[in-house]
A = this chain, B = another copy of it.
Amino acid sequence: MSLRHFLSTQHLSRAELEAIFSLASAFKREPTGHALAGKGVALVFLNPSLRTRTSFELGVHQLGGHAVVLEPGRGAWGIEWREGAVMDGEAEEHVAEVARVLSRYVALIGVRAFPRFRDWAEDREDPVLSAFVRHATVPVFNMETILHPCQELAHALAMRERLGDLRGRKYLLTWTYHPRPLNTAVANSALLIATRLGMDVTLLIPSEEYRLDERFLAAAEANCQESGGSLRITTDIEEGYRDAAVVYAKSWGALPFYGRPEEERPLRERFRHFIVDEAKMALTRGGLFSHCLPLRRNVKATDAVMDAPYCFAIDEAENRLHVQKAMMTWLIAENTPHV
Contacts and interface: CB of A to CB of B under 8 A. Distances in A.
A110 to B, nearest CB: 13
B66 A57 contact: yes
A105 B297 CA distance: 22
A76 B105 contact: no
A92 interface: yes
Oligomeric state, in copies = 3
B49 A75 contact: yes
A66 B61 contact: yes
A318 interface: yes
B57 A94 contact: no
Residue among A68, A96, A98, A314 with max Cβ neighbours from chain B (10 Å): A68
A233 interface: no
A106 B294 contact: no
Given A85-B297, A93-B294, A57 B68 contact: yes
A84 B318 CA distance: 24
A321 to B, nearest CB: 6
Contacts of A48: 75-77
A26 interface: no
A50 B105 contact: no
A225 B333 CA distance: 54
Interface string A79-109: 0100111111001111011101110111000
Contacts of A68: 53-54, 57-58
10 contacts: A40-B54, A48-B75, A54-B102, A55-B105, A58-B105, A86-B298, A88-B299, A93-B294, A97-B293, A97-B314
Interface of A: 31-32, 38, 40, 42, 45, 48-51, 53-55, 57-58, 61-62, 66, 68, 70-72, 74-77, 80, 83-88, 91-94, 96-98, 100-102, 104-106, 179, 293-299, 303, 306-307, 313-314, 317-318, 321
